[in-house]
Structure formats: C-alpha cells, structure tokens
Amino acid sequence: MFFPRTALDMIDYPPCSQQVKKRCKWLYEFSTDVLAKLPGSPDDPFNGVAVDINALGWAMAAVSSRAFRTRGPTQPAAMLPLIDMANHTFSPNAEVLPLEGVSGAVGLFARRAIAAGEPLLLSYGKLSNDFLFMDYGFIVEDNPYDAVQLRFDVNLLQAGALVSNVSDALGAPLDLAPRTWQLQMLAELGLAGPASNTELNIGGGGPGGELLDGRLLAAARVMVARAEGEVSGRGVERLCAVERPLSRDNELAALRTVGGVLAFALSNFATTLDQDKELLAGQPVSVPQAGGAGERQLPPPASEDEALAVRFRLEKKKILSRALQRVGALSQAAAGNAELRQTAGSAAAKKGSKPAPATGKGFGSRKP
C-alpha cells in the first residue's frame, strides 16, 4: 500500500496490482467518509485525535503483517506480541501453538534443537508470493506455493490455439466457437454458467505439485474435440487428470492450445524473464513502445521497492516458463505413447470421408 506509483506500475501483474489498488481505494474512502467526520462527534473513539489515511494505512499494515490464526485458518486472527519478530520460512524451527487450559494464550515452541544465536524462524503459512508481498512486504524465490492466476474464457483458449497454430482436420486455423454440448461440459467443469468459478492457477501446488491447472487442460480437451464422443461420458475427474490423455490427436491439440495460453500470458508482460534479470543486474533494457512504434529504454530499478516489484514479476514468469516445459514433456509423452488411440470415442475417419456425427450422450446429466 505504501509503494510509490512507479514501483506499483512495475509489478505488471494485474491480479496483484488490482488488489493493491482496491486496498488503497478502501483506505481513501473509509478515511474520508468515516474517520474525517469523527473529531468533535459523540462517536469519536480517539478523544479528538485526528486519524488520517496515513495512520489508518499503517494500522492496517501492522495488523495484516502481525496477525496469526493459531486455531486454524477459519478462526479469528490475533496479534501476538514479539512473535512477529521471527522471520518466515517454509522450513521453520519454531511454531506458534495455543496453550492448553489457558483461554486465548499461545506460546512459541521449538520444533527441533536450536543452537545459541540461531534465528527463530516461523512459517507464516503455505502462502503465494501475492500474499507475502502484499501483507509482509517480501517474496520467496522459487516459492512452491506461488501461482499465476488466469481468468478462463473461451477466447483465452482461442488465443492459445492461434499462438500455437492449432489446425482443424482440413488444416485451417482451429475455430473454438463453442457448441451446445461443449458449453454443457464447461459448465460441468465450473467454467461456464451462473455458478462458474473461472479462476485458474498455474503452479501453487506445493513441492512436487502439478504445475498445470487440470480444469484448463480439461477445457482444452473439450474445446478441441471434433465430436462429442471423444470426450463425453468421462466425468470431471477424468477430464481433469493431467497425465491421463483421452486420445493422441485430442491430447496433442489440447496441449498445444494450453501451451499457447501460457505463451500468450508471458507475452502480456512488458519485459521478458531474461530482461528482468538484466534489470536486477543493473543493466537497462529496450522494450517495444505501446502500439509498436519503436522502442523505449527501461532503466534498472532505482529503489528497493522497484527491485522487489521486478523480482515479484520475475517469479511469475519463471512459473509460466516451467509450466511450458511441463506441456512440452506431456506432449512428447503423448506423441510416443503407442497405447493411445488416434481418436477417442470412435474410429478415426478415413481420408475424404465425413466425420462421424456427435452422439446423443452428454457430459453428466443433461438438463431438459
């Protein structure tokens, strides 16, 4: 919240920068609509002391960075004296636990033998860099719980298919305009309809976790299918199983589409991963001007806040790059899997023949 505008712009990652702006907007509105009217009123809890937006922002930052949920993530958080002096790690040597028999009391307990002079380290939780950045003011390099958020839309898959040159049976660019049965399947995946949740996460599964969002791959499998029979009757869990392709043709087209989505997401950043590394090394870089009219030079970060913003977005690009490598490995495995049929759900159409019509079988129960 206290980032200067230049550093905030350098985040270059809308899910985080928009959240920061929302917090700042709330601070401004609450300070002007509520706090500014308190002095001299009978409702003033501060005895005439003016509390402005800066004081409110400091208090909000203090609470968010020092509050612990010792009784579970769904229970209220509490501010714990002195404990906030312990730094964060995903491999802590100490932990905060409630004291048995003492209501509201907590203690700091060692998880292992701690040598004299060794710093006490806590885990603030399995948090992404977004939360660590916004609430605590730091990030963790190669954070296994960090993720890149994408918002699903059929147009996102269409862009991915275009980026990767995915073609239809006649060699033309694949048109992903959804048919009725595909919309029904997307609804079953929770990606369409009034009850949909279109937020997708690339990464964030913890150490050794899957990088790809199963629902993104499932949606791609559905949308690249040439006939309903290729994907119908599988069930949500089966469609989302990353390492269980339906057929060779379907899987290769779906993976190329997902790879295009990831490449498209990377292209939305103003700089590349390597350029961010150069900036952090103190070297200026040249990037295209908005609208494609020439180039402009970006100077290296001029402050710790700007450097943190660059490091933050660099981690997002590393996640997308690793996910692209994962797509490549899955594509290679699918192409070399002799047990996979060329087409699932029906025999491959002979050259020159019309494709088989879609079956009447839906995905789950079809609503009347």
Render pLDDT for 69-125 as a digit per residue (tens, 0 to 9). Answer: 766 667 777 888 788 789 999 999 999 888 887 777 888 899 999 999 999 999 988
| Per-residue model confidence as pLDDT tens digits over 219-260 | 999 999 999 999 999 999 999 999 999 999 999 999 999 999
Give domain 5-136's CATH architecture: Alpha-Beta Complex (3.90)
pLDDT for the residue 347: 37
Give domain 152-335's CATH architecture: Alpha-Beta Complex (3.90)
pLDDT for the residue 266: 97
pLDDT for the residue 149: 97
Q: Do domains 5-136 and 152-335 have the same CATH topology?
A: no
Q: What is the DSSP string of 174-241?
A: PP-PPPHHHHHHHHHTTSSSTT---EEEEE-S-TT--SS-HHHHHHHHHHH-SSGGGTTTS-HHHHH-
| 3-class DSSP state of 130 | helix
Which residue shows structure tokens 């959804």?
178
Q: Give me the percent of the chain exceeding a pLDDT of 70.
A: 91
Q: Which two tokens stand for residue 184?
A: 């029904």
Angle between helix 53-66 and helix 14-33 axes, rounded to 10 deg: 130
pLDDT exceeds cutoff 50 at 345: no
pLDDT for the residue 363: 28
pLDDT for the residue 145: 96
Give me the helices (H) in the chain, please.
Answer: 5-11, 14-33, 53-66, 129-131, 154-163, 180-188, 214-224, 236-240, 248-267, 273-280, 304-335
Judged by average pLDDT, the poorest of 275-279, 289-293, 343-347, 349-353 is 349-353
Q: What's the pTM?
A: 0.86
Q: Which two tokens stand for residue 358?
A: 């879609």
| Per-residue model confidence as pLDDT tens digits over 24-58 | 899 999 999 999 999 889 989 998 888 899 999 98
Q: Mean pLDDT for the chain?
A: 88
Cα(337)–Cα(161) distance, integer angstroms: 23
Cα(25)–Cα(255) distance, integer angstroms: 40
Domain range annotation of the chain: 5-136, 152-335
| Per-residue model confidence as pLDDT tens digits over 161-196 | 999 999 887 788 899 999 999 999 999 999 999 999
Cα(338)–Cα(213) distance, integer angstroms: 26
pLDDT exceeds cutoff 60 at 210: yes
pLDDT exceeds cutoff 60 at 352: no
pLDDT for the residue 343: 59
